[in-house]
Amino acid sequence: MSDGQVTERHQKLQRHLQALVPGACLQAQAPPGIPELPLWLLGDIRSGTRLDSDCAAALMETPPYWSFCWASGQVLARWLLDRPALLQGKTVLDVGPGSGVVALAAAYAGATRVLACDIDPQALAAVQLNAVSLGLAVELSDDLDACLKVADLVTAADILYDRDNLALLARFQRAPRVVLADSRVRNLSAPGYRRGDVMDAVTWPDLDESREFNRVTLYHYGS
């Protein structure tokens, strides 16, 4: 992507945000748990770092998920960044990348190939913008079945707010290993998955979500 194309992509995503929240802008910001990965995320609309409840409500009606780095994404990104050996020689597929935080962490930590698969074209555009800004290579796709055929490791953070996505958990097992991060489903029990660490993180920028959504659980399939 040329510099001109990056600027155009940035402006297009920002215009999309401004249609939802007048005055909104994209700002490069590193979420607290992952200083290595500054991302283009929703910038401060007014002074503080928290969105007021009106803005939060407007955003949640047609959510530009990609403009936030979700608590689960931060936890899973950190988990990968701390385990580069796990990624060596591996093709990683991140499902529901949003901003791309987990896919970018996999690329940063040395995965051989990284695919990001999202149903939202704006999210794929955001992943591309963030990847170019960080000088990392991430391939974009909306074809989950094709991606699953080549994945050694599937990752997914905060996609179970949509309960229809629970059906994906069995499909992910076509890959030898899966790591999920979730704070939305209490006591998730999915065949083949075991509970891992539980960690706290805050969605960035801070949506002032209920504290229960700051508690992220990792789930593992395979070894």
State how far Cα 212 lies from the chain centre. Answer: 19
Match 């074209």 to its residue by tokens. 121
Q: Confirm or reject binding of residue 190 to ligand SAM (CB under 6 A).
A: no
> Quick check: 219 binds ligand SAM (CB under 6 A)?
no
* Chain centroid, CA 214 distance in Å: 15
Measured at CB, which residue is nearest to ligand SAM? Answer: 73
Give the pair of three-digit tokens for residue 137.
């290579």
Q: What is the total count of residues that contact ligand SAM (CB under 6 A)?
A: 24
Which among 145, 59, 130, 136 has a CA at the least distance from the CA of 97? 130
Q: Which is nearer to ligand SAM, 72 or 128 (CB)?
A: 72
**Interaction of residue 123 with ligand SAM, rule CB under 6 A:** yes
Residue 159 is a binding residue for ligand SAM (CB under 6 A): yes
Beta bridge partners of 29: 39
DSSP designation for 199: E
CB of 132 to ligand SAM, least distance (A): 18
**Distance (Å, rounded) from C-alpha 137 to C-alpha 36?**
16
- The least CB distance from residue 95 to ligand SAM, in Å, is 5
Say whether residue 34 binds ligand SAM (CB under 6 A): no
Residue 70 in the binding site for ligand SAM (CB under 6 A): yes
Q: What angle do CA 209, 118, 186 make, to 5 degrees?
A: 40
Is residue 101 a contact point for ligand SAM (CB under 6 A)? yes
- Binding residues for ligand SAM, rule: CB under 6 A, are 65-66, 69-70, 72-73, 95-99, 101-102, 117-120, 123, 157-159, 162, 165, 168
